[in-house]
Amino acid sequence: MDKPYRSLNEYYRALFGRKAAKISLDGGFTCPNRDGTLGTGGCLFCSAGGSGDFAENASRSIPEQIASGRAQTAAKWPDAVYIAYFQAFTNTYAPVQRLRETYEAALSCPNIAGLSIATRPDCLPPDVIALLEELAGRTKLWVELGFQTANETTAQLIRRGYPNAVFCEAVRALATRNIPIVAHVILGLPGEGMADALRTIDLLNTLPIQGVKLQLLHVLSDSGLAELYHSGAYTPLSKEMYISMAAACIARLRPDIVLHRLTGDGSARTLLAPLWSLKKRDVLNGIHKYLRENDIFQGKDWNGASGKIF
């Protein structure tokens, strides 16, 4: 490992022998937390774009979105393969035939080496899981599940819309069909500190997941969190605190889990705070420096919990 953790970049280089770049797509789906099924306001942190602010434009077809994404990265990575990342809203929340057509449209494009599908654990009925199982058998597939926190009180506060048990059940249902899972974790949620972050990692360590994304909580002007922030009821993390929390999570994380992300992107157009996060390279450099200086590596503080299916 070049880095003291299992990075997605290294994972893909070992798998494909070259760079794999993600193209963020908008498949035109919605979300039960937005369409009134569970709620209309969405999760507290979610933007109007359904957490897909960097996704291509939904008015274009999937092949057009992929062509646009490739054009933006071709000069930087001329030999790259691509992962079609269905990012905006809930990407398994539609009839299975529509899902199939959408995913197949991506897979039919040149140089698409895999799919990453972001969704909610309560949007995985049996026919959708059967489709995902079929896809996992013929392409590199990740199913990305928004989890954010193991703290049930925080989960209610952020209007996640399901208890931890639903997440754990979905993980087991996917894992028994050999569908690789990435869990999303947000650091800096209202009322949460280091102990909450580590408890979240501890729970994930016990589950058969293969990837984790660590993200900083961004306050976006078009999210419910903006109101809490303006009223003074929410204070974002400092850069130093984020770096130390991310490092502690890496130390606690099971060694086989691939880290898909160490921090997130907030749209410069709508980001209210923390503004230091706009310099993403600085944040990543800060995490790497902190890991080096404190001799931290992935699994250093792991308690040995196994993610084996039982």
Contacts with ligand SF4, residue ranges (CB under 6 A):
31, 33-34, 42-43, 46, 50-51, 89-90, 120, 146
> CA nearest 20: which of 193, 103, 139, 196?
139
Q: Which is nearer to ligand SF4, 31 or 209 (CB)?
A: 31
- Smallest distance from ligand SF4 to CB 131, Å: 20
Q: Which is nearer to ligand SF4, 42 or 274 (CB)?
A: 42
DSSP code, position 159: T
Q: Which is nearer to ligand SF4, 4 or 211 (CB)?
A: 211
d(CA 143, CA 117): 5
- Smallest distance from ligand SF4 to CB 34, Å: 5
Q: Which is nearer to ligand SF4, 144 or 244 (CB)?
A: 144
> H or E segment at 45?
none
112-119 and 140-148 strand pairing: parallel
- Smallest distance from ligand SF4 to CB 207, Å: 19
- Smallest distance from ligand SF4 to CB 221, Å: 15
Q: Which is nearer to ligand SF4, 120 or 254 (CB)?
A: 120
Integer-rounded Cα radius of gyration of the chain: 18
Q: Which is nearer to ligand SF4, 31 or 115 (CB)?
A: 31
> CA nearest 184: which of 155, 154, 223, 211?
211
Contact 200, 150 (CB under 8 A): yes
Q: Write down how long the chain is.
A: 310
- Smallest distance from ligand SF4 to CB 91, Å: 9
- Smallest distance from ligand SF4 to CB 277, Å: 18
d(CA 112, CA 104): 11
- CA distances 215 to 28, 203, 259, Å, are 24, 17, 11
Q: Which is nearer to ligand SF4, 33 or 102 (CB)?
A: 33
- Smallest distance from ligand SF4 to CB 31, Å: 3
Neighbours of 238 (CB within 10 A): 12
Q: Which is nearer to ligand SF4, 186 or 283 (CB)?
A: 186
- Smallest distance from ligand SF4 to CB 47, Å: 8
Contact 23, 65 (CB under 8 A): yes
Contact 77, 71 (CB under 8 A): no
Alpha helices in the chain (DSSP H): 8-16, 62-73, 96-107, 126-136, 152-157, 164-175, 194-205, 225-231, 239-252, 280-293
d(CA 292, CA 16): 28
Q: Which is nearer to ligand SF4, 38 or 284 (CB)?
A: 38
- Smallest distance from ligand SF4 to CB 124, Å: 13
